[in-house]
A and B are shown apart, each in its own frame.
Chain A
Amino acid sequence: MSRSRRRTWLKTTIGVVLTGVMLFPVYWMLNVSLTRDQNMRKSPPDLLPLHGTLAGYRTVLDEQLPYLGTSLVIGLGTVLLTVLLSAPAGYALAKLRPRGGGFLSFVLLAAQMIPGIIMAMGFYAIYLQLGLLQSVPGLIVADSTLAVPFAVLIFTAFMSGIPGELIQAAQMDGARALRTFRSIVLPMSRNAVVTVSLFAFLWSWSDFVFASTLANGGAHEPITLGIYHYIGNNNQQWNAIMATAVVASLPAAVILVLAQRYVAAGVTAGAVKD
């Protein structure tokens, strides 16, 4: 074995160890979710779930399914609302050069800097008067504020890469702006739609601030509140808490496996100059 090849293997080994250290909490969540109640407070704790149990997951099936369903509905609603609002806006900012477009982009950028807890307080005051507290549509609208500014910026960046000739050709054929958008721009922006949808879903699925202020105590609570109530109520059943956490992490895992390149694209979009 040549020297450089051995060095590559050394690096791979170090890389695996570092990844292992970084992902240890995730492993620990899995491990605890499979631990029996009587072993939960064992010292030192078992490093492997050799005498494991699925009781925690059974509790999830018994108690958490409504929460998961609510989160799914809210996530999909947020995705739909976000894409409907931001794709046309991205098209206008990228291709139609509206007067005042620069200012709007600036407002969108500033909107992302506002802490969620402040938005939550404002929404609380408004929803209280409108009777929208503890309602699913109310939470969808609030959650969409996490994603809309980001989504407009992603769509703008992506759509400005679509060749102008294509759009002009469509207009020469007599297509109106709306048809150009629907039949040319939108189909070509599939990757941007995927990136935006992924992030919108993930953020709304993970949201805790809006859920705990706007949906707390209602008939339809998302999974983040399901876990939060667990932590507050039964401090003993950590296998059930961690099993819920594992299930709540599934969307993130699926996204990582199926759509990793979109995630990396979303993270770096705009942060790094091309």
Chain B
Amino acid sequence: MKQTTHPPDHRPADVRNGAAHAAPPPARGRRRRRPPSTQWAAWGFLAPVTLYLALFYAYPLYRNLDLSLRDYTVRSFVQGDAPFTGLANYRKVFDDPTFAPALLHTALFTAVCLVFQYAIGLALAVFFNQNFRLSATLRALFLVPWLLPLIVSASTWSWMLNSESGVVNATLHAVGIGPVNWLTSPSWSLTSVIIANIWIGVPFNLVVLYSGLQSIPAGLYEAAALDGAGSWRRFWSITFPLLRPVSAITLLLGLVYTLKVFDIIWIMTKGGPADSSTTFATWSYQLGFGNLLPAFGPGAAVGNLLVVAALVFGLVYVRVQRKQALS
């Protein structure tokens, strides 16, 4: 959302962030003269969203925390009288044999996706920044993978990577490479979901980095060209350093959104085979919803660890963005 989106959200995803900072901060001196009637009006307008945040963000999060601190069974889940067990669920999760692989896979998945999405996105942004014929149209087409529902992308990749009938193995066969069990072999499943997720994440990096490139004055390049700097040199001494603030934002947002990627992995491999592509997000879902006997407590505990990680990097992001807004 994604996304992302994003991741979204993918997201992207998803791609949402502090546009609010575009609003000019009220001047300190004027703060005292805010008439009370405006305050009433302001909070009147804000009341629905505040109530909404409390009911549909804070309360589910609180319920999730509560889930992780009690010993829930299906029965007590319905009746709501599960005994309080403190951090027992967290201890159970830490001692679980899945913990170490899930941690490793989450770190690997996030790092590899970020590096490739950023590198490919940047290369494409530089390429499209040259404004040739059709460049705007082609750039728009690059958004397609990011806009598609994740289930669509994931099922398409599943079929493309199918061991017997997938087009990827057919292509490999044509150049003399034997079939790879992309989704069914423990040594390839993580690679497969990483490839699919990079494909989804490139558009976001491309669009954001491209708009960053647009704000670099063309005069700088002309001056460097006059000094005899080649295009490689111009990239490393002008583009890359001047793009650093935008790069930092892109990578941090990407990090937060990649940490929580769930759909792609679950639809393509369900975290398997044998946990070989399990991350914290899929593990949490697996515990809570993936089995006949749900383990809501440990599932919520894993989820909360993920929330903490996402919020830590989210705070770093907010700090970086504030600093950039001030400079």
Among B83-91, B142-150, B184-192, the one that faces the other chain is B142-150
B20 touches A206 (CB 8 A): no
Contact with B along A1-42 (1 / 0, CB 8 A): 000000011011011101100110110110010000000111
Residue of A nearest to B324 (CB): A273
Contact with B along A230-270 (1 / 0, CB 8 A): 01000000100110010011001101100010011011111
Among B22-30, B109-117, B233-241, the one that faces the other chain is B22-30
Is B194 part of the contact surface with A, judged by Cβ < 8 Å? no
Contacts of B160 in A (CB 8 A): 25, 28
| A32→B165 CA distance, assembly (Å) | 11
Is A53 part of the contact surface with B, judged by Cβ < 8 Å? no
Query: Among residues 36 to 57 in chain B, which have CB atoms less than 8 Å away from a CB atom of chain A?
Result: 38-39, 41-46, 48-50, 52-53, 56-57
Residue of A nearest to B21 (CB): A270
| A32→B161 CA distance, assembly (Å) | 13
Partner among A28, A153, A255, A273 whose Cβ is within 8 Å of the Cβ of B20:
A153
Nearest CB in chain A: distance from B87 CB, A: 18
Contacts of A80 in B (CB 8 A): none
A109 touches B318 (CB 8 A): yes
Contact with A along B2-24 (1 / 0, CB 8 A): 00000011000011111111111
| A101→B39 CA distance, assembly (Å) | 11
Is A76 part of the contact surface with B, judged by Cβ < 8 Å? no
| A274→B266 CA distance, assembly (Å) | 38
Among B94-102, B200-208, B218-226, the one that faces the other chain is B200-208
A252 touches B20 (CB 8 A): no
Is B263 part of the contact surface with A, judged by Cβ < 8 Å? yes
Nearest CB in chain A: distance from B94 CB, A: 18
Given contacts A125-B63, A271-B249, contact A44 B173 (CB under 8 A): yes
B306 touches A106 (CB 8 A): no
Contacts of B67 in A (CB 8 A): 121-122, 125
Residue of A nearest to B208 (CB): A271
State which size class the interface on B falls in: 35 or more
Is A156 part of the contact surface with B, judged by Cβ < 8 Å? yes
Is B242 part of the contact surface with A, judged by Cβ < 8 Å? no
B304 touches A202 (CB 8 A): no
Contacts of A128 in B (CB 8 A): 77-78
Is A169 part of the contact surface with B, judged by Cβ < 8 Å? no
Given contacts A111-B53, A113-B311, A271-B17, contact A88 B48 (CB under 8 A): yes
B17 touches A112 (CB 8 A): yes
Query: Among residues 242 to 295 in chain B, which have CB atoms less than 8 Å away from a CB atom of chain A?
Result: 245-246, 249-250, 253, 256, 259-260, 262-263, 267, 281, 284-285, 288-289
Contacts of A256 in B (CB 8 A): 140-141, 143-144, 147
Is A117 part of the contact surface with B, judged by Cβ < 8 Å? yes
Partner among A8, A105, A116, A206 whose Cβ is within 8 Å of the Cβ of B260:
A116
B19 touches A15 (CB 8 A): no
Nearest CB in chain A: distance from B196 CB, A: 9
Partner among B15, B45, B148, B259 whose Cβ is within 8 Å of the Cβ of A26:
B148
Contacts of A98 in B (CB 8 A): 39, 42-43, 46
Is B197 part of the contact surface with A, judged by Cβ < 8 Å? no
A25 touches B157 (CB 8 A): yes
Residue of B nearest to A33 (CB): B156
B23 touches A252 (CB 8 A): no
A23 touches B144 (CB 8 A): yes
Given contacts A141-B56, A252-B147, contact A118 B46 (CB under 8 A): no
| A123→B61 CA distance, assembly (Å) | 9
B141 touches A157 (CB 8 A): no
Is A51 part of the contact surface with B, judged by Cβ < 8 Å? no
Contact with A along B155-199 (1 / 0, CB 8 A): 111111000110100100110000000000000000000000001
> Which A residues are closer than 8 A to B by beta carbons?
8-9, 11-12, 14-16, 18-19, 22-23, 25-26, 28-29, 32, 40-45, 84-86, 88-89, 91-94, 96-99, 101-102, 104-119, 121-126, 128-129, 141-142, 144-146, 148-150, 152-154, 156-157, 160, 177, 181, 202-203, 205-206, 208-209, 212-213, 224, 227-228, 231, 238, 241-242, 245, 248-249, 252-253, 255-256, 260, 263-264, 266-274
Please provide the 5 A-B residue pairs with the shortest distance between their CB atoms, ordered closest to farther.
Answer: A122-B60, A270-B19, A115-B260, A98-B42, A206-B149
Seed contacts A101-B42, A109-B20; 4 additional CB < 8 Å A-B pairs:
A8-B132, A89-B46, A112-B14, A118-B61
Sampled A-B contacts (28; CB under 8 Å): A12-B135, A18-B138, A19-B142, A22-B141, A25-B156, A28-B159, A88-B48, A88-B49, A89-B48, A104-B49, A109-B20, A114-B310, A116-B260, A116-B262, A117-B306, A118-B60, A122-B60, A122-B62, A153-B19, A177-B44, A177-B45, A242-B155, A245-B152, A266-B15, A267-B15, A267-B204, A270-B22, A271-B253
> Which B residues are closer than 8 A to A by beta carbons?
1, 8-9, 14-26, 31, 34, 38-39, 41-46, 48-50, 52-53, 56-57, 59-64, 66-67, 77-78, 80, 124, 127-128, 130, 132-135, 138, 140-153, 155-160, 164-165, 167, 170, 173-174, 199, 202, 204, 207-208, 211-212, 215, 245-246, 249-250, 253, 256, 259-260, 262-263, 267, 281, 284-285, 288-289, 296, 299-300, 303-304, 306-307, 310-311, 313-314, 318, 324-325
